[in-house]
Amino acid sequence: MSHKINNIYLFTRYERLWHWLQFLLISILMATGLEIHGAYTWLGFEKAVKIHNYVGITWLLLFFFFIFWILTTGEWKQYIPTTKKLFSVIRFYSYGIFHGEPHPVPASREAKHNPLQRLTYLGVAAALLPLQMLTGFLYWSYNSWGSWGIDFFSLQLVAIAHMAIAFATLIFVIIHVYMTTTGHAVFAHIKAMITGWEEIEEGEPVQDWEKATRR
């Protein structure tokens, strides 16, 4: 079943740059982290540790810039969680998408993320990534724990938590990559993150789904 396609400029140059830079940094951290844990040998342990540390600190600093950007531009509103149309979106991804149904919550400049995306991205940005960075920073600064008065922490528990969250992040990345193939064309969403222009299947206007449960 075919649906009318509209083009809207959805992602700014900064958002696209941040997205791909984050993907690159996470990929490097995953690769070096696995080598540090002995999954394979490629760069060598010492070099892998050095690269992992440098990239981790870079990722931490860039994350602060990202937080500053969403707070100063008002983009934080894109991540406000809502249950409006949430179950319609869940039904779409579990059933409707396989039967040619249009997306129940098409994206717009005012609401880039559907309710399920908002909950997911908020959880990742507000909990998963900060915890990954915090445990990574604690792991990296282990020799300073005594002078900071936090030497009661368990290095083993910090290491386990850091690795567990890393695997959770990897699962998110895999699911995220899969979800990019669920547009009206396989590479439509990836193209949008390159050009900024998203091809949207015509559906219920954003103002309607946002008001749907206010009545």
Q: Which domain holds residue 52?
A: 5-211
Q: Greatest CA span in the chain, whole angstroms?
A: 65
Q: Please name the residue that has the structure tokens 């949430």.
A: 86
200 has a pLDDT exceeding 80: no
Q: Which pLDDT score is estimated for 52?
A: 95
Token digits for 56?
């981790």
Output the domain CATH number for residue 38: 1.20.950.20
Average pLDDT over residues 1-20: 80
Predicted local confidence at residue 214, as pLDDT? 42
The predicted structure's pLDDT at residue 211: 53
pTM given for the model: 0.83
> In sequence order, what are the beta bridge partners of 198?
8
Number of domains within the chain: 1
* Model confidence band, residue 209 (pLDDT cutoffs 50, 70, 90): low
Q: Phi/psi of residue 42, each to 5°?
A: -140, -65
**Following DSSP, what letter does each residue of 104-141 receive, concatenated?**
SS---SS--S-HHHHHHHHHIIIIIHHHHHHHHHHHHT
**Quick check: 2 pLDDT over 70?**
no
Work out the pLDDT band at 115, boundaries 50, 70, 90: very high
> pLDDT tier at 131 (50, 70, 90 boundaries)?
very high
What does the pLDDT look like over 43-101, one tens digit per residue?
A: 999 999 999 999 999 999 999 999 999 999 989 999 999 889 999 999 999 898 888 88
